[in-house]
Each structure stands twice: as structure tokens, then as C-alpha cells.
Structure 1
Amino acid sequence: MTLSPRIVVVHRRTELADLLARHGTRGQVDFFLHSRGRSLDEVTERDAADQAALTAVSAAIPLDWRRGSVERDDLARFLFAPEDVVVVVGQDGLVANVAKYLSGQPVIGVNPAPGGVLARHAPAAAARLLHAVATGSATHEARTMVEAVSDDGQRLLALNEVYVGHPGHQTARYRIADAERQASSGVLVGTGTGATGWCGSAWRERRSTLALPTPTERRLAWFVREAWSSPSTGVERTEGSITDEPLVVDVESDGLVVFGDGIEQDRVQLGWGQRLEVRLAATQLNLVN
């Protein structure tokens, strides 16, 4: 007998829930927000919209289908099965958070507020999209991801970009692409999805003529942040593309880190003499259109 699909709903605690956990009562939350020029009504409205979206998605799952639920903070401990259908209820950043824990499962991004790029669907569309995925009639968008692998086997995946450098964004020293010693504020390697974020900012600031990749293109773009020259360091290799061959970074200072999509807590630690390869990931985000 064929098992029914398992729908895994990914969500995060709302700001209101976090504030209540920290301050205890709505009155104290209201005082805290007013002291910062904000309103409890605004936070409450967003909380209600998030809860309504979760309710709509839950109601859209057929009663005979299996279901699961996981909060963002528990993603690293959750075991996704190959046959899962993942429904992310939240903002675009939550889709990026979950992408690195998946291996090709279809992802439906449901946004309580309109205007998302990754979480692009309204809650009312959940039933139609789940049916389309289950019957094989859904269309998908395979978004490129980036992978960083160290010589001691540490591995990190990201949907937008990875950062290689000092955890405090101070001077990082390394040799890049087997060629040039550099001292800089770190190296960014981004996908087409990340081209609208941190990498896009670096690209605009330096007025680069390098073509940024598109979200589904099998190409990455890399940029060195604030490289400076000295008798022992150069500034010639500060940007480029990655297709077939990885970007190689040989570490020449202690305490460097690699993290993805701005999540500094989930990081790879690197020491002097280690080698890091940053490349196109075999895994892609299977985003449902």
C-alpha cells in the first residue's frame, strides 16, 4: 500500500510570542514597545496573520495525509524524509533557513503578507498547491545553492551566500585561488538568489561589471570585501564566477569562520593551514511555483 504524503509545516515563533516570553505580560510588552516608538497593535496584528496562515495551511491538508510540524529553532534536529512535502509559513528568510536541511523535497512558500519572492503564495492557495504536488501537476523552480567544504570534512550549505572571514569582520589573511595572498574583510560567494542581497550590495558598491547569476543558473559569483595591498598581500583577484571548478581558499590566520545566509551561529571553524573549497552544491532548492 502506498503511504499518503507527509506534509511538514515549517514556521517560526512570532515576535509577540518572543516578547511575551521575555517580558511576561502584554502590559509589559506594550510598555517596552512604546518606549521604542512601536505599537502593541502592530505586533498583535502580525501575530494574528501568522496564526491565521498556519490555520489555513493545516485545514488544507487532507485528513488522511500524514503531517508534521517544526519550528525554525528545531530544524537542525528534525529529520526530513525524501518523500516529504515541505510547507514554509513565513517570510522569505525562513525558506532560506530550511533549504540547507533538505535534499530535493518540494517546498511551498506560504506568506501571511503579500510580496514574497520565495514565500510567494497566499494561505488560500495551499489546498490547490498541495493537490498539484501530490498529483505531479505542479511546476517547480530549481534554485542553485552554494556549498563550502573544509579539508577536515566540515560542510555547509546555503541558498543565498556564504561568508569566509573573521567572525568579527576584522582582518582575514588567506591565499585565494592558489594564486594571491590577501588581507581583507572576508570573501562572499553568492548564488542568483543571493544576488539581490549581500552579494548584490558588494557588486553595486564596487561598480562591478561582472554579470550576476540568475536564481536557477548553475553559476556562483564571488567578491572579496575591502582587500588592501601590502608588501605581502595583493588586490588583483577580488571577484569572479564559479562554475565547474571550486574557489579555493587557503587559510593563513587563526580563527576564521564560514557561515551561510547570515546565520553566524551555524558555522564552520577554520585554523591556520586549512583549505576550504566553495562550489556549486549538488543539492538545489525545489521551489513550487
Structure 2
Amino acid sequence: MKLLRNRGNDRVIDHLREAGVPSAMRVATSAISAFGVHALLDGARRMPAAKLLVPPPHTLAEAVVGSIADRAERNRLSLRGAASRAISWLDRVETRVAPGRLPQSTLIVDADARGTAAMVGACALTTEGLGLTPADRLGIVQLAEDDDEVAMFAEWFDDQWQALAPAHSAHSAIRDVFAPLASRRAAAEVYLRTLDAIFADLGEGSDEESIVKSATGIRDTVIWSKLYRFQRDGAIGAIDKLQRFGGCILADSVGLEAVSERLRNGGRSSFSVIPRGCDTILGRAHVEPDRPCAA
């Protein structure tokens, strides 16, 4: 028996890879993540059969997307692919659920090159447990060095496995933890969720009646009467943001209305360049036949 540092060249994943491509596994894990399963199966020509012992499914949801150390992988948008592969593997394994959280993890992997590798301790099926990302320095991982020690770990696992009754609902519950991560989602959902997170607690905005009250006399001013409807909307929005947030950024750009006005009222020598397709939007009636217009 020896201790693994689980960093550098002495990581859990290194010893598993040295053993060769896994053909069968017995896993008792205190946590599981999509990236951890993906790394464990990396290089496998087929999904290995396995017995998987996990804590109650509701305790797995927090770790399934990985920790803060897995942010780089999430930023590469690889989570859905990793979750899909994890589901494919889960559909091939036997699953049993412990009554509570597991105090440690155990990995017993039968491989095709150097026999069986067995480890116990802080070696959960996560990138931290496999040594791919920094883990808690107080965590300890023990590696079995001979057949007697491997047999001892295997006997312990088999005793726990036999003590727990199989339950199909447990497999479905664990699969359901990964399913939302593997499903396809509309790209606009990210944008809408971001807006909701930013503005959900900002309260209701003010409308025109509450901002431009008759008593203020704004509606009777010459300036207000000269504004187009969209300009009034902009002014109301700016006042609303000043009142609610104490600041506002007001920006403007030349839009189709300005282009349309130019086409209707421009001089005979004007040459208008507009985006392709906008000529249909503006209407050919706005463009005089003898004035050039490039789209």
C-alpha cells in the first residue's frame, strides 16, 4: 500500500492509464461529474461494464457540472458532449444507491495490460479526484500495490454491493441528473437567462404617464411637440433609468427612418447607398426614377 500525491506524475488518472484500457470497473464514488467520467473513459474503444455505487442522487447535482477548476472546459462548451458520454456509460452500468453520503471513494479497475488497479480515498469520479485539476491537499489516496491488497478492496466493495438492494428507479434518478446537461437548447435561452438574472430584481419600470405627468407641463412644451414617437420613447426611457439607477447611456444611430427621409427629401445630386434588401423595406416609391440608388 502506498500514498498517492494525486498531482504531477503521481495522479490517480496516471495509474489507471498505466494499467491499460479498462474492461470492467467497480466504483464507489462520493461525487461524480461529467468531465470526470469523460476523462475516465478517454481512450476506451468501448464502454466498459461497471458496478457503480453512489450516494443519493440529490447529493450529486452540485458536482455533476464540475467545480470552479473545470471552468476552462465549460468555456470550451464541452459540457454537453461530456454529459452525453456519461449518460451512454450509465446506461451500461449496474447502479446501487447508498443510504447516505460516502465517506470515501473506491476505484477498482480491471484493465487489459497490467491487471487490476485499486485505489481508495479522495478519488471520486471528478477531475479533482482523478488528479486532473487541483484538489484539497488534505485528501488522501491509497494505491494497492499487490494482489492481496487489491483482493481486500474488492472484498470490501462486494460486501457493500450485496448489502444494497438493486433499484431501477435509482438508475433513472442518476441519469436524470445528467440529462438536462446533455439536451440541446436554443441559443437564445442563454441570452434570455442572462437578462433575467441581471434585471429580475430591478422592479417594474415607469410608464409615460408616471414620468411625463400633465402637471409638469412637459407635454405642452415646443420641444416635446417636435419629437417623433420613437424619440419620446427614448426620452421616457432615459428619465426612467435616471430615476431608478442613477444613470443612463443614450446612444443613437442612423436607422431606416433617416434613410427614408433622405430618399424622400434629398437633392437631385444625392447618391444613396443602403444595405441590400432595404430597398424593398423602404419601398421603391420613395426613390425617384432618375436618382441613382445603390444597394
TM-score scaled by structure 1?
0.19
Higher percent of residues as helix: 2
Larger Rg: 2
Higher percent of residues as strand: 1
TM-score scaled by structure 2?
0.19
